Amino acid sequence: MLGRKASISRSSVLTGGFVLCTLFMTYPPAAQGSGPVAQPPYTISVFALSQLGQNGYTQPDSLVRWHDHILVGFGNGVAKDGSDGKSSTIVQYSLSGQVERTFSVKGHNDGLRLQPDTDKLWALQNEDANPNLVIIDLETGRQTLYTFPPPPHQGGYDDILFKGDQVFMTASNPTLNGAGVNLFPALVRVTLSGSTVNVVPVVYGNATATDIPTGTTVTLNLTDPDSLTADLRGNIVLDSQADAELVFITPGGAVGRFIIPSSPPLSLTVDDTAFAPRSRAFLLVSDLHGEAVYRIDRPTFEFEPGVAYSASDSSGIVGTLNLDTGAVTPIVTGLVSARGLLFVPADDHEGDER
């Protein structure tokens, strides 16, 4: 387990191709009435919209690529502890945003991840309590349900990350002690046994860490473990959303963090972060309450490798994250509630079509 004696240096997280840049954001129709706007050289367009009405799907969140398809998890306003018995919808799209098929999963879908080198989609439900995992074989459409033992933190599980032969999840909605401190695991490693998900603690909510901007030792209090990703150096990046903190766990087990500075009068919290790949790509972002998924492009699909892009649900922005300080610098605002981010490799022929 990591936490009590972990330490980290700025260089172990920040070196190796990261650069500072600025953050570009857009205005969805629901917020501004004039449609999304991106400041050059970025452009933005609608990739997909929610489907309202009976048998529809709303509140897009997590995004996954499978071959030449994009899968989007729609929460449908389902209770986050699954107590209303309703179901979320996972929609499969072509790369041009055409609906191809849908899947229904019982509960509130939040985490969505493709198991590497397989056709298995892991769908994680009920981040507040009563979690369940559904694995969908995308070739056959067959769904397999897995259950969790009672979570020690009395909450749920929010996001999934595959790293080598290991699988990690964030332990979300933890019960805090009388002093408001999370003494329970914030990051866990999971394995499957029969129809059960086994959970082993990795990083605790009150772990010792290094504050990346200052190099000082701090004690964490991760009250809202949320999204997971990995940077190009192999660090696990955990977002404690309501705390406005990003936590980096190196391959060697060291833990570092920085706080996302707010920009008054807005309280800036980050939902998802994605690191630009080394290949040409475009970026997708889900706007939960804007009921849309947007596509963000740069000329010739040239996003600088390693640059971190973050989506803020509280201030409705998407853009680059300063990896020295944690600051997010808004350039365009206007998304209603930016959530999931996904870089999608661009085909060579796309440059001639857009």
User: Which of 136-140, 188-192, 259-263 has the lowest average pLDDT?
Assistant: 259-263
Cα 218 to Cα 257: distance, rounded to the nearest angstrom: 9
- Closest to 18 in 3D by CA, of 338, 305, 298, 237: 305
199 against 326, higher pLDDT: 199
Instruction: Give the type of residue at 218.
Output: V
**11-24 average pLDDT score:** 34
Q: What is the mean pLDDT of the chain?
A: 87
Instruction: Indicate if the pLDDT at residue 292 is higher than 50.
Output: yes
In sign, the C-alpha dihedral spanning 209, 213, 214, 220 is negative
Q: Is residue 26 pLDDT above 60, yes or no?
A: no
Q: For residue 152, is pLDDT > 70?
A: yes
Position 276 pLDDT exceeds 70 = yes
Query: Does the pLDDT of residue 194 top 60, yes or no?
Result: yes
- Scan for tokens 């009068």, then name that residue: 265
Look up residue 35 and give its amino acid. Answer: G
Question: What is the C-alpha separation between 328 and 184, in angstroms, rounded?
Answer: 29
108: nearest Cα among 169, 43, 156: 156
Q: For the chain, first and last CA: distance in Å?
A: 48
Contact 89, 102 (CB under 8 A): yes
**What is the pLDDT at residue 327?**
82
What pLDDT was estimated at residue 9?
46
List the structure tokens of 349.
């022929």
Instruction: Please say if the pLDDT value at position 17 is more than 70.
Output: no
Q: With pLDDT > 90 as the criterion, what percentage of the chain qualifies?
A: 72
Q: What is the arrangement of strands in the sheet containing 132-137, beginning at the earlier edge strand? A: 109-114, 120-125, 132-137, 143-147, 196-204, 185-193, 166-172, 156-163
The whole-angstrom separation of Cα 221 and Cα 215 is: 18
Give the Cα separation of 142 and 278 in Å (integer). Answer: 34
Report whether pLDDT(7) > 50.
Answer: no
Q: How far apart are CA 260 and CA 266, in angstroms?
A: 12
Q: How many residues does the chain have?
A: 354
Q: Identity (one letter) of the amino acid at 200?
A: V
Q: Which stretch of DSSP H or E encloses residue 53? A: none
| Range of weakest confidence among 14-28, 75-89, 319-333 | 14-28
Residue 263: pLDDT band by 50, 70, 90 thresholds?
low
Q: Is the pLDDT of residue 197 over 80?
A: yes
What's the pLDDT at 347? 74
Pairing of strands 208-211, 255-259: parallel
291 close to 60: Cβ distance less than 8 angstroms: yes
3-state secondary structure at position 348: helix
Give the three-state DSSP class for 241.
helix
299-325 per-position pLDDT tens digit: 899 888 999 999 988 888 888 898 888
Give CA separation, 252 vs 5, 13, 234, 249, 353, in Å. Answer: 12, 11, 10, 8, 44
Stretch 200-210: mean pLDDT: 98
Taking alpha carbons only, the member of 174, 280, 189 closest to residue 228 is: 189
| Whether residue 234 has pLDDT greater than 70 | yes
User: Could you tell me where the beta strands, DSSP code E, fall in 26-108?
Assistant: 43-49, 60-66, 69-74, 87-94, 99-106
Q: What pLDDT shows up at residue 350?
A: 53
Three-state secondary structure along 111-145?
EEEECCCCCEEEEEECCCCCCEEEEEECCCCCEEE
Structural domains of the chain, ranges and CATH numbers in brackets: 10-352 (2.130.10)
